Structure formats: structure tokens, C-alpha cells
Structure 1
Amino acid sequence: MKILIVNTLYYPDKVGGAEVSTQLLAEGLVRAGMEVSVACASGTGFDSVTALNGVRVYRMRNANLYWPHQPKRHSRVAKLLWHAIDVHNVIMSRKLKKIIAREKPDVVHTSNLACLSVDMWRVARNAGVPIVHTARDYYLICPATTMFSDAEPCKRQCGSCALYSAPKRAASSRVEVAVGVSRFVLQKHLESGYFPEATRTAVINNCYVPSVETTPFKRTRRYEGGPVRLGVLGRVARDKGSEVVLEQLSADRTLDWTLAFGGSGDPDYIASLRAKYRDPRVEFLGHVKAGDFLNSIDILIVPSIWHEPFGRVIVEAYSYGLPVVGANRGGIPEVIEPRSNLVFDMGRPETLIGKIAEAIELLKTPCVHDHLRRHADTFSPESMVNAYLDVYRSALEGALTRSVEPVAAAIAPKARMD
């Protein structure tokens, strides 16, 4: 099977988990015997073709007002124009048309499409190639990709987002199979009217590959009583729930704890947190190595206020044998190890304290670290690759059915009128 994967970025260009998952999928498909090519955007240089670990990579120079993956501010007008072009970027579509003509893929698998345009779907459908799309965030629904506004996640599309996304929603009717990295993110798209003609929908979680630090597993810290060391790993920001954790722990008088934030953020925001919560038990470490940080704490807290589509950091923590307490937002509850059930209600943030207490008791359980590490193993690249191969076969079957039905209708005898 020949597969063309289309994603905004590809290694070594990387912003987040989407790019990691895309590379793991592409190379995993190659190991499974598939012929794989990738089309992605680039903010520098010219259009180019390279080979990387058995994957042919087409890098298409960005054809919009600016390259959005650079730390530079743009005016509101420039952003509006950028998004207008991004919906129907004819130049990028023409480039993909040439790639499809050259590669002749059996399936086109799209993912993040910022800088590339949903017009890619029209090109693939016109070429007679079935489309599988993976929703990794809310790009199709919200220009900010987060569906988060005024310190709260959006319950539904606002008027401006609905207007902005109408062409994308219409274009999504060309998708044969729709995939979500969590049930939550898939359902959010379906409820908003996306993928109305899809012959199948599926949930395929992102995968995780343990680092050399965790293979073989070596944990240098084990909880043996006393202050429990809590940690929050990732960007320090309001939508990430940084202040929720500080507020609840500062008000509690039942737990013995220390808290470390591993990650950077807006300097002014972090300064405001330091000033508001003056507590020697709280550390802001800035940028850290994930392995070192996870090996230094007892419990990870994932307190996101916004609806995280998946939550890769949770799986990473499990690979270190760490209990994880997560908010009931987005796809987070789907990743939390089910037997631990360490999910707190962000609508009642005081429930965080009770779940931390449960996690402390869990730490006293024999073999808890091994059990949690086995849960991380369920998010393997092999499982993800096999799931996508099954989805690709469904897309081919669905496309075949679509092509046969019109022919059958055309040759069917006309009914007699009595």
C-alpha cells in the first residue's frame, strides 16, 4: 500500500506532539512494509524532496503572508488575511497535485493542515484517492486551534468561528474516514457538523516511545513518607491550570507537600504567580529535561482548563511509573489509567486535593510503578500503526463502494410505470 501523509510540519521541524506522532507513524508504516511519503510545509528555502529513514519527504515552501511558526507579532488584519488564504490556498494545492501525480498513493492521510489548506482534500478527491483525516486539535473549528476564550473553554463554536470555519466544514464532506486522537476531540467535530459523508469514524490515540532514560526502567526516587513531591510539567499558563493548583494547595491544610513547575511561560505571568503565592514549598524551575523532572517527583498533576485533545505528558509520566492526577477536560480522562481513576472535576477544583490524597495512598501499593508503566506500554507505536492500517483499508473499501454505486444506478433498468 502506498500512503501519502500530509501534515503542516515534519521532522526535524517540530512544534509539539503532532509532529512526533506523524514521524512515528510514517516510520512505523515503513517498517510494516508500506511505501510512505510525507508532504509538509516549510518556512525557509525552496520546495525540496529528501529521504529520511525510508520516508520520502516533500517540503513545500509556505505560500501565505507569513510563516506562523516564528515568534513574531502580526496585526489583526494580517491574521485575518492569512486565515482567508489558508482556507483555500491554491498555490499549495497545486504543489500537492503534482506530488499526488508523482507518488500515485492509494490513500492520502491528512492531519494538521495549517499552512497547507483544506483545499488539499479537493485535490485528493479529484485524483480519485480516498482521504483519511486525523483531528489532533480544533484547527478546523477555531482559528486559534484551542477553543478557549476568556479563561474558559468554549462550550460551542462562537459566531465568528462558525463563519470562519464554514468553508472547512463544507470541505470536510470529502473525507472518507475521520479519526480523532481522543473520543472527545472526534465527537466535538462530529457535533459541529464535520465529516458528514465519512463512511467510518475511529479513535486512535497518539503513541509514545520511552526514552533511553526509561529503558531499562530505573527510578531514582521512591516515596517513603513525608512531604509528597508534586509536579506540573509543561507551559506555565492560565489555560494550563497553573493557578488552579497553587490556589487549591495553598488553601489546603491536610496534605504535606512540595510543588515544582517544570516549564517556561510568560515572564510577567510567572512573576505574578510568585508574588501572589509566596510559599517556599513552590519552585518554578523553568525549562527542564522531562526525564530528569519526572524522576524527581512523586505525582504528576495535569490541571488543564482548556480541553486538551490528548495529553501525551500523561503517558510519558506513566512510563516513569508515576501516578497522574488529571482534570476532567478534553481527552485527559481517556488517558488516565482506569484503575487509579485519578481524575478531578475542574468545575469543582477543590476535588483536586482528594485525588492527590488518593494518589499518595496509591504510591504505598506494592508494584505500583510497574503497573503504571505497563499502562504506558499500551500506547505503543505498533498499536497505532496497526490501527491506521485498518483505517486505510476501510477508506479504500469505502471509496470502492462510492465508485460502484453510481455505476450500478446508471445501468439499473428503469422501473415500469403501471
Structure 2
Amino acid sequence: MHVLIANTLYYPDVVGGSEVSTQILAEGLVAAGVNVSVVCVTETGEDRMCRINGVNVHYLRLANLYWPYTTRRRMLFMKAIWHAFDVQNVFMARRLQKIVEREKPDIVSTSNLSCLSLGIWGIARRAGLPIVHTIRDYYLMCPAALMFSKGKSCRKQCSTCALYAAPRKIKSSQVDVVIGVSDFILQQHMTRGFFPRASAAHVINDCYLPPHPAEMRLPPPRLPGFGAHDAKVARIGVLGRVSPEKGIEIVAQQLLAQRTLPQWRLYIAGTGAPAYVDKLRRKYADPRIEFMGRVDPRAFFAGIDVLVVPSIWREPFGRVTVEAYAQGVPVVGANSGAIPSVIEPESALVFDIERPSTLIGKLDAALALRAIPGFRERLMSHAQAFRPDRMVDAYLEIYQKVLAAAPLAAPLEGLGQQM
């Protein structure tokens, strides 16, 4: 079996969970004896191919107005042109076609396709290749891929997003099998009419990033920002991208306003737009609040008592939750998106994002878990459902079933036709 995986970015260009999951999947398939190629986008240089841990990785230089993965602000009209071109990027599609012709895969597995081209679905269809697509965000429904505007999560598409999504919805009919990283994100698309001809829809949760075996033999390093540990002080952590939709301000505001946790410290780890991070530092200039920047996750989890995932936007999955569980750390999550479905059910540590004051009660409950014998082991056991090998095995099973079934896409003449 030869699988061609298409995702916007790939190692070493990592900005989020999609790139991590794609690499785990690609290398896990290679370990299972599958021939794997990956095609992705890069900002600079010429088109090139590298072999990384057994995977042929094709890096295609972006063909659009600008590279979107920077904090630089763009004028509205430039964004509009960028997204309009991204809907049908014929220049990228032509290069994708050459990759398909060169690699001759048995199946095309797509994920995030921003900066690449949805034309890869048409290319695969004309070549008679089955298409499996994984939904990881709202890219098909929203230009920003977040469904988040003016400080709130969008409950429905605005007219601009609906116009943007219309051609993508039409193209989604070319997909044979659709996968969601959570049932929530899958249903958000299926109920809006995406993937109308898919023969099957599945949920395969993302996985946590496994630590290197050498790291497991050593205790996690101590981060200097934690200082000396006082058992009377509740150490509360937030880890991830520092941006408005992540709800970090909710945690800071509620901790500063409450009276039931007399001693606490809040550790905010992650990076974001410098202007926004500086704004938070000024607004919450309290000695109990520490901005730590980029950190080693394992070291961070070793230094906190509870993790909070306070996302305002409707998270498609929330990998940081299962990463914390894998280290035995309890998690308090917002009732937004797929977060509640990942929270360990027995603890039920979910607060109401519309009533932020409910966070404090859940923090009290999470801190009380430390006195329960075996609570860490219970959380770590829950994390086993999100092991990397389980994710890889689930994809492999779907690929095998797709290839064993009757041809889903009859080859069309003229592979070089308009995408």
C-alpha cells in the first residue's frame, strides 16, 4: 500500500496539532510497513523532496500573495484576494498533479489544505484514487478556520463565510471517506451538507505526543519559572497558543476575583502575537501570574497541580488535555466544542464558559483529586484511549477497507484537465 498524505505543513514547520498528528500518522504507517509520501507547503526556497524517517516529504513553495503563518497584520483587501485565490489555486494544483503522477499512490489522504489546493481531490478522482479526508478545523467553512469573531465563537456561518464555503462544499462531494478528529467537528460539517457522497464517516481522535524513550528514563527538567514549590499553593497552568480565542483572560480574571483559593499561582505557557502577549502582561501584572513563553510540556506538567483549557472558541479536539492526562495531571475544561468529550468522565471537570465563575468550583474539585489514592493512575489510564499507535491503527484499518472495497472513483481520461 502506498499512501499520499496532503497537509498544509509538515515537520519541521510546526505551528499546531495538525502537523504533529500528520507526522505521527506518517511515521506510524511506515513502521507498519506502508509506503508513505507527504506533500506540504513551505514559505521559501524551491520545490524539493526530502526523506525523513522513511517518509518521502515533498515541500512545495507557496503560490499566493503572502505566507499566512506570521503575526504581521494584513490589509483587508489583501486577505480577501488571498482567500479567493486559495479557493482554487491552479498553480499549486498543477504541482500537486505532478506529485501524484510521480508517486503513483494507491490512496490519497488529505487533512488541512489551506495554501495547497482542494484541486488535489479532483486530481485523485481523475486518477481513480480513493480519497480519505480528515477534518481538523473549520477551514472548509470559514476563511480564518476558527469560526470565531468579535470575541465570540460563531454559532452559524455569516454571509461572507457562506459565500466562501460554497465552492468548498461542492468540491467536498469528491471525498469518498471522511474522518473527524472528534464527533463534534464531524457533525458541524455533515449537518451543513459537506461530503454528501462520502460512503462512510468516522471519528478518529487525535493523540498525545509520546515522549522520547530516553526522556522517560530521566526525571523531567525543572523550569526556572516555577521557583520553589510550596505545597499550600495551588499551581494552576494554561498551556498552548496565547491568543484571544483561547480564553486565558477568563482564568486570570476569575482567579483574581475569587476568595476560596487563598493561595494560588497561575502559569501561562505558550507563545502568541507579541502585541497581545504584552497586553496581557500589562493587564494582569500580578506577582502570582507568570508568563513562561515556550516550554517543554513534560516539564510544565510536572510543575503544576491542574491544567485549565478555557477555550472560548469551539475546539475541534484539544490535544493538550490528553497530553496532561498522559502525565497524570487533572484538567478543567470549558464546555465548548469537543473539549467535554475528551475530559475524563469520572472527574467531570467541565465549567460553563457562559458562566465563568463556575471555573473556581471545578478548580477546587480538581485540586481535591490529589487526595484520592490512584487518581493519577486513573487519568493516565484514560489517556490510553488516545495513544499514538491506536490512532495509526485506526487509519490503517480504514485505508485497508477502502482499498478492499469496490473502486470508489473510476479513473477519468485526461489527468491533465482543469482541476
Instruction: Answer yes or no: same fold by TM over 0.5.
Output: yes
Deviation at 1:324, TM superposition (A): 0.5
| SS across alignment from 1:400 | coil
**Which stretch of the first structure deviates more once superposed, 153-162 or 229-238?**
229-238
Deviation string, structure 1 residues 116-150 (Cα, Å, up to 9, x no partner): 11111111101110100001111111010100001
**Superposed, which structure 2 residues align to 1:232-381 within 5 Å?**
232-256=238-262, 257-277=264-284, 279-381=286-388
Question: What is residue 95 of structure 2 aligned with on the other side?
Answer: 95
Q: Is the 8 Å Cα contact of residues 326 and 343 (structure 1) preserved in structure 2? A: yes
- Over 3 Å counting, the alpha-carbon distance change for 1:31 and 1:164 in structure 2 is same
**Superposed, which structure 2 residues align to 1:12-91 within 5 Å?**
12-91=12-91
Question: What is residue 144 of structure 2 aligned with on the other side?
Answer: 144
**Superposed, which structure 2 residues align to 1:122-161 within 5 Å?**
122-161=122-161
| SS across alignment from 1:168 | helix
2:288 alignment partner AA: R
TM-score with structure 1 setting the length? 0.90
* Pairing 1:229–2:230 present: no
> Which runs of no fewer than 5 residues in structure 2 stay unpaired?
412-419
2:349 alignment partner AA: L
Deviation at 1:318, TM superposition (A): 1.3
Question: What is residue 389 of structure 2 aligned with on the other side?
Answer: 382
The one of the two structures with greater contact order (alpha-carbon pairs below 8 A, sep at least 6) is 2
Q: Is the 8 Å Cα contact of residues 128 and 409 (structure 2) preserved in structure 1? A: no
| SS across alignment from 1:300 | strand
Question: What is residue 181 of structure 1 aligned with on the other side?
Answer: 181
Q: Is the 8 Å Cα contact of residues 182 and 203 (structure 1) preserved in structure 2? A: yes
Q: Matched residues, percent identical?
A: 54
Q: Is the 8 Å Cα contact of residues 130 and 408 (structure 2) preserved in structure 1? A: no
TM-score with structure 2 setting the length? 0.90
Q: Is the 8 Å Cα contact of residues 309 and 332 (structure 2) preserved in structure 1? A: yes
Deviation at 1:235, TM superposition (A): 2.8
- Over 3 Å counting, the alpha-carbon distance change for 1:277 and 1:92 in structure 2 is closer
1:22 alignment partner AA: T
| SS across alignment from 1:137 | coil
1:169 alignment partner AA: K
- Over 3 Å counting, the alpha-carbon distance change for 1:361 and 1:224 in structure 2 is farther
- Over 3 Å counting, the alpha-carbon distance change for 1:352 and 1:175 in structure 2 is same
Bigger Rg, structure 1 or 2: 1
Deviation string, structure 1 residues 29-85 (Cα, Å, up to 9, x no partner): 011111111111122111222211111111222122222224433322222111112
Deviation string, structure 1 residues 291-340 (Cα, Å, up to 9, x no partner): 22221110011101011111111112112210000101112112211221
Deviation at 1:362, TM superposition (A): 1.0
Looking at structure 1, the residues matched to 143 and 59 of structure 2 have their Cα atoms a distance apart, in angstroms, of: 23
| SS across alignment from 2:60 | strand
> Which runs of no fewer than 5 residues in structure 1 stay unpaired?
405-418
Looking at structure 2, the residues matched to 339 and 224 of structure 1 have their Cα atoms a distance apart, in angstroms, of: 28
- Over 3 Å counting, the alpha-carbon distance change for 1:270 and 1:90 in structure 2 is closer
Looking at structure 2, the residues matched to 365 and 338 of structure 1 have their Cα atoms a distance apart, in angstroms, of: 16
| SS across alignment from 1:39 | strand
- Over 3 Å counting, the alpha-carbon distance change for 1:108 and 1:255 in structure 2 is same
The count of residues paired between Structure 1 and Structure 2 equals 404
Q: Is the 8 Å Cα contact of residues 71 and 273 (structure 2) preserved in structure 1? A: no
Q: Is the 8 Å Cα contact of residues 176 and 399 (structure 1) preserved in structure 2? A: no
Deviation at 1:284, TM superposition (A): 2.3
Looking at structure 2, the residues matched to 187 and 100 of structure 1 have their Cα atoms a distance apart, in angstroms, of: 30
Deviation at 1:12, TM superposition (A): 1.5
1:227 alignment partner AA: V
Q: Is the 8 Å Cα contact of residues 239 and 304 (structure 1) preserved in structure 2? A: yes
Question: What is residue 206 of structure 1 aligned with on the other side?
Answer: 206
Q: Is the 8 Å Cα contact of residues 182 and 310 (structure 1) preserved in structure 2? A: yes
Deviation at 1:342, TM superposition (A): 0.9
1:240 alignment partner AA: K
Deviation at 1:268, TM superposition (A): 4.6
Aligned-pair Cα RMSD in Å? 2.3
